[in-house]
Amino acid sequence: MRILLVEDDIDTRTYVSSGLRAKGHAVDESGDGQDGLLRACEHDYDVIVLDRMLPALDGMSVLKKLRSCGTQARVLMLTALGDVDARIDGMEAGADDYLGKPFALSELIARLNAISRRSAHANTMTLLRLGDLELDLIMQRVFRAGKQIHLQPREWDLLKYFALHAGEIITRSMLLEHVWGFQSSPHTNLVDTHVCRLRGKIERDFGPRIIRTVRGEGYTLSLKQGH
């Protein structure tokens, strides 16, 4: 995908852009808010990675201007360590996701994938079908091989998030933020426990596993056999 990276720290910018290029993305770089805004308006990007603290024009202002000029690009905001209110502010200003610095490159890539593929009609969908797995988004019911599975509310949220991002790598912190709404990662394996229980319900009595653990990164819901 086509990515614009607006970040003033050269080291971070070079590291991130080379990492993204290595994954086959086209990356444009910008070192300040004014220039970043200009590029974002001129070109059609899929995703914009926007640092919150920038020279010339800060990230929040860039985001607001972008949203008011009607850009379709998804925006991921980067913020300083421990700035817990930044997420709420950023989301209110129209960011699609948020990531606190410092971050693992794999985390950034996973999140960029998640927001770029978030389909525009996700909110209007009523039924999600993935192989023999079927999610009734209105009645909040799950069927596998035509058989209904009873899930706890949190398990339902978890499965829905997996299903909407099928095939992508989903990190633990993404799940914590988007399913639980937590800001900081707890020391317990809250996510693992619940994913494990969800697996038990949707996989145990039915043939192949569909939620796989990706070592060092997170999980992915995949229907392809042989993985």
Partner 1 sequence: MPLGLNVHVGARMVRSAAFRLAVIQALMFALMALTLFLVSWFAARHYIENQLRQTIIDEFGEVIAHPPAQRAASIQRSLAQVPRGAYDYSLFDARRTLVVGDIREEPAVGWSTIEQHEGLRSGKDAVRRILVYGAAQDDGSTLVVGRDLASVDELDALLKRVFTWAGLAAVVLALAGGMVTARGYLRRVEAIAAAASRIAAGDLAARVSITGRGDEFDRLAVSLNSMLERIQTLVEGLRQVSNDIAHDLRTPLTHMRQRLEAAMDEATSLEGYSNACERALADVDSVLDTFAAMLRIAKVESRQQREGFTDIDLSQLLARLVDDYGPVLEDEERVLSAEIQPSVNVRGDALLLTQMFVNLLENALHHTPIGTPVTLKLVAAEQGCQVVMQDAGPGIPAQERTRVLKRFVRLDASRSTRGSGLGLALVAAVADLHDIVLTLGDAGPGLRVQLDFPHRQDA
Give the interface with partner 1 as residue ranges (CB under 8 A). Answer: 81-85, 100, 102, 152-154, 180-184, 186-190, 193-194, 196-197
The tokens of 41 are what? 């308006």
Name beta bridge partners: 26: 2
Residue carrying the six token digits 């805004």? 37
Identify which of residues 6 and 170 has a Cβ nearer to partner 1 in the complex. 170
**Residue 184 DSSP class:** S
- Least distance to partner 1 from the beta carbon of 192, Å? 9
Identify which of residues 200 and 207 has a Cβ nearer to partner 1 in the complex. 200
- Least distance to partner 1 from the beta carbon of 149, Å? 17
Identify which of residues 186 and 207 has a Cβ nearer to partner 1 in the complex. 186
- Least distance to partner 1 from the beta carbon of 197, Å? 6
- Least distance to partner 1 from the beta carbon of 146, Å? 28
Identify which of residues 61 and 183 has a Cβ nearer to partner 1 in the complex. 183
Q: How far is CA 109 from CA 76, 121, 130, 168, in A?
A: 11, 23, 23, 10
Q: Are 220 and 211 in contact (CB under 8 A)?
A: yes
Identify which of residues 168 and 177 has a Cβ nearer to partner 1 in the complex. 177
The tokens of 82 are what? 């421990």
- Least distance to partner 1 from the beta carbon of 200, Å? 11
Q: How far is CA 135 from CA 31, 62, 113, 164, in A?
A: 44, 38, 22, 10
